[in-house]
Copies of this chain bind each other. A is one copy, B any other.
Amino acid sequence: MSKGLVDYQDGEHIDQNVLIRDADIRTAKNGKPFIALIFSDSSGQIKGKLWGAKPEDIAQFVKGTIVHLKGLREIYQTTPQVRIDKMTVSTDPNISVDDLVPHAPINKSDLEAQLNQYLLEITEAKWNRIVRWLLAKTDGKFFDYPAAKSNHHAYAGGLAYHTISMLKLAAAISQEYPQINQALLYAGTILHDLGKVVELTGPETTTYTLSGNLIGHIVLVDEAIVEACEALNFALTDEKIILLRHMVLAHHGQLEFGSPVRPKLLEAEVLHQIDEMDASLTMISTALAHTKPGQYTPRLFALEQRQFYQPKL
């Protein structure tokens, strides 16, 4: 991995193409306007401020512009930022916006191909049809959305990538513990976070919708399964339907994390554990990827502020 924005150390000079992810015009204490900027490349983001912004600066350095940035990486009140020395609109024809945003490590068509394999293995007909009906209904959003607003897999395609990673874990674990109902585990895994498609506004400026806030993504998937059953003419009293809904409702594992019921099926417990496992391993690995041997990661908010060590080995 070549050096990205998040890899610079304090005092190093940045000199590369970046995308302006956000540009906010504000007024400094001396009364002059400045632009508060967020830059990104494929490695992540960094903040910066353009002091004494002229009208032409304000006009050209808008959100979505690719610029060539020169400056010093420094720490301002514990947050890394870049002190801008020079910034010009990029004229490099070989750089596109897509190169300068984080993305899933597997491309969309591969994700689709892998998902299709797992769909074939949902051997229970009702579960298979519900899953396919719901995936069809998202109209491709399943492959475009992030898995979360921040924390882990917070990039376009993150939802599908997180789901595929969990399916691989599910396959490996089912092989160790053959008493697991693999079809149920696969169906639950694919559906568990599908509510994010409704809860979050989209891959670009990710925020919560009213439904996301007042109903929550767990119940939103449950609602979607109920709708699928209506459409497919499956009775809600069928044990198979109750089991599938339980998989989704219980996947946060504990009431205080938002599940209205705790796991009461072997497969629901497994789904909860592989969700936690993929999320935590991804967060730790991402942080370690930008940590030098012999150093510690920053405190990871979603992992109870723990720091992890990068061995020198």
Residues of chain A touching chain B, judged by Cβ–Cβ distance below 8 Å, are: 26-27, 29, 51, 72, 74, 83, 165, 168-169, 172-173, 175-177, 179, 181, 210-211, 213-216, 218-219, 222-223, 226-227, 230, 236-237, 239-240, 242-243, 245-246, 249, 255-266, 269-270, 273, 276-277, 280-281, 284-285, 288-289, 296, 306-309, 311-313
CA distance A309 to B263 in the complex (A): 10
CB within 8 Å for A210 and B222 given contacts A29-B51, A165-B176: no
B51–A219 CB distance below 8 A = no
CA distance A311 to B185 in the complex (A): 14
- Give min CB distance, A232 to chain B, whole Å: 13
Q: Which of B227, B255, B258 contacts A257 (CB 8 A)?
A: B255
CB within 8 Å for A307 and B264 given contacts A223-B226, A280-B269: yes
CA distance A226 to B236 in the complex (A): 12
A309–B181 CB distance below 8 A = no
11 more A-B contacts (CB under 8 A) besides A214-B246, A239-B312, A264-B308?
A: A210-B239, A210-B309, A211-B237, A215-B260, A219-B245, A219-B261, A240-B313, A255-B255, A260-B260, A270-B281, A273-B276
List the 3 shortest-distance A-B pairs measured between CB atoms, nearest first: A172-B172, A214-B246, A256-B256
CB within 8 Å for A215 and B240 given contacts A176-B172, A262-B306, A264-B308: no
List of B residues within 8 angstroms of A210 by Cβ:
239, 242, 309
CA distance A258 to B260 in the complex (A): 5
CB within 8 Å for A281 and B177 given contacts A265-B311, A273-B273, A308-B266: yes
B260–A242 CB distance below 8 A = no
Instruction: Return 8 A-B CB contacts under 8 Å, by A number.
Output: A172-B172, A177-B285, A215-B222, A215-B261, A216-B260, A260-B260, A264-B296, A266-B284
Q: Which of B72, B211, B256, B288 contacts A179 (CB 8 A)?
A: B288
List of B residues within 8 angstroms of A276 by Cβ:
273
List of B residues within 8 angstroms of A26 by Cβ:
74
B172–A175 CB distance below 8 A = yes
B285–A218 CB distance below 8 A = no
